[in-house]
Amino acid sequence: MADGETSFRALHFDVAGRRRAAAVWLPPGLDPRRRWPLIVGLHGYGERGDDFEHGAHGLGKAICEHPERFPAVVVLPQCPRDLVWVKVDEPWAQGLDGAEAHLDRALEVALAELPVDPQRAVLTGLSMGGFATFVWGAARAERFRGFLPICGGGDPARAARFGARPTWVFHGADDDVVPVGKSRAMIGALEAAGARVRYTELPGVGHASWDLAYADPAVAEFLLDPDAAFGGAAR
């Protein structure tokens, strides 16, 4: 896809009087009369602010490189620079408030204003966004059909909230920013809770495991239809 032909645009919304925006991918040839799958992608700590470059990192980069893999509406909110997506026990998050209200509002506006099927929403995120996929995702599990957290972590005590919704977790084995034990702990808790879960640990890979994860065509297939990727709907 040549420069200028990408189908990204801005989705604007207000949160407690604060003007925010999310980058939105609309696939070429989108028929607004159809209801499309919705993918919500959450960025990492370094992408906070008001100038999100949707094609520079993570899911947005994968879409720009292989747009044909994503016949879906993709929403990429940006976290304010003075907040984090969720409060976690990592040193870089101490003293900062969570931005759950921004995520709630972005999802609410996306469902109201975009041609999406609310029963086909999937949540993914990397690093800080991986934590949010586990933490905010557990709190809003009923709104999503599947989850794909990358190099994140969460509260094992909340694992049961994911229920039978497919969850595919990625982490680099040599991650020196978010210890791989964070994902391993969540995998253990999810399996103990009887969840439908898959774990891909990437040997020799550090923190930036999202490049390999999102470049995998099977990941795109999962984000479009996690039940089918896991062999069909739960019974």
Percent of the chain with pLDDT over 70: 91
The mean-pLDDT minimum among 70-74, 95-99, 213-217 falls in 95-99
CA-based nearest residue to 39, from 13, 58, 20: 58
- Least Cα distance to 161 among 144, 185, 182, 149 occurs for 144
| pLDDT, tens digit (0-9, with 9 covering 90-100), for 10-29 | 899 999 888 888 999 999 88
Q: What is the DSSP string of 187-214?
A: HHHHHHTT--EEEEEETT--S-THHHHH
What pTM value is reported for the model?
0.92
Which of 144, 192, 201, 139 has its CA nearest to residue 167?
A: 144
At 235 the pLDDT is 53
Give the C-alpha separation, 179 to 219, whole Å.
22
pLDDT tens sequence across 100-151: 899 999 999 999 999 999 999 999 999 999 999 999 999 999 999 999 999 9
Q: Which domains does the chain have, with CATH numbers?
A: 8-228 (3.40.50.1820)
Strands of the 73-77 sheet, one edge to the other? 8-15, 18-25, 73-77, 36-42, 116-126, 146-150, 167-172, 197-202
User: Residue 213 has what pLDDT?
Assistant: 98
